[in-house]
């Protein structure tokens, strides 16, 4: 049993390393104006990645601790990019998002929620990575429609990074995503979505909501 547990931990670590190695390698080949977004985005993932990794290697990181670390990563992204979820055109939410503090708290809760939701669907081979690829592909489609080359390039890079490992996860589960990979993918995807909406006012936030549904 101990040997099997160590093998699963090793597989998760290998997948996390390959996923981020592929993303970083791809970043190195992108134009500098695109890398200026991907590098800070990766830096903002450190807290949530470490929390997931701790649980993957058997440190028994509590769900409360992982939630707090996802909030820390969300705050880090807000501090780096200086953007957050703004008014959503809903009378029930505008009173929250029209105030700076309310908008930041709402953004942090959404980021933490999506990161955890991504981890929750990591129970079946191919499900989490398949869903993340579809979301990244749809974000790329929207970015292309509004000629946002930065989000387009990052979304395609993320989709390709996942795709290269998807074949080892589906359908035989030769390698696993793990909490580190799941939390970080959720964080990156929702943050790409926020950047896409903030940078392109013609895109409705509800289009992003439908993509994640």
pLDDT tens by residue, 144-164 = 999 999 999 999 988 888 887
pLDDT tens by residue, 77-87 = 999 999 988 88
Ranking 126-130, 151-155, 156-160, 183-187 by mean pLDDT, the lowest is 126-130
Longest dimension (CA), the chain: 55
The pTM score is 0.82
pLDDT for the residue 1: 44
Exposure of 8 by Cβ count < 10 A (0-12 exposed, 13-18 middle, 19+ buried)?
middle
Local structure of 208: helix, strand or coil: helix
Q: Nearest-5° angle of CA 31, CA 207, CA 35? A: 15
């Amino acid at each position: 049993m101990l040997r099997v547990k160590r093998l699963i931990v090793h597989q998760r670590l290998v997948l996390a390393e390959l996923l981020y190695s592929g993303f970083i390698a791809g970043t190195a080949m992108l134009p500098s104006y695109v890398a200026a977004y991907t590098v800070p985005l990766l830096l903002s993932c450190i807290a949530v990645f470490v929390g997931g990794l701790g649980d993957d290697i058997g440190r028994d990181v509590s769900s409360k601790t992982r939630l707090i670390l996802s909030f820390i990563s969300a705050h880090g992204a807000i501090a780096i990019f200086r953007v957050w979820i703004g008014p959503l055109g809903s009378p029930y939410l505008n009173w929250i998002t029209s105030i700076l503090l309310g908008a930041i708290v709402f953004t942090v809760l959404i980021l933490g929620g999506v990161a955890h939701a991504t981890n929750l669907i990591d129970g079946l081979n191919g499900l989490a990575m398949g869903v993340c690829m579809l979301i990244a592909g749809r974000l790329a489609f929207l970015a292309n429609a509004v000629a946002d080359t930065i989000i387009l390039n990052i979304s395609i890079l993320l989709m390709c990074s996942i795709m290269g490992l998807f074949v080892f996860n589906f359908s035989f589960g030769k390698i696993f995503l793990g909490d580190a990979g799941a939390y970080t993918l959720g964080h990156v995807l929702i943050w790409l979505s926020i950047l896409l909406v903030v940078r392109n006012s013609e895109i409705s936030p509800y289009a992003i909501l439908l993509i994640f549904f």
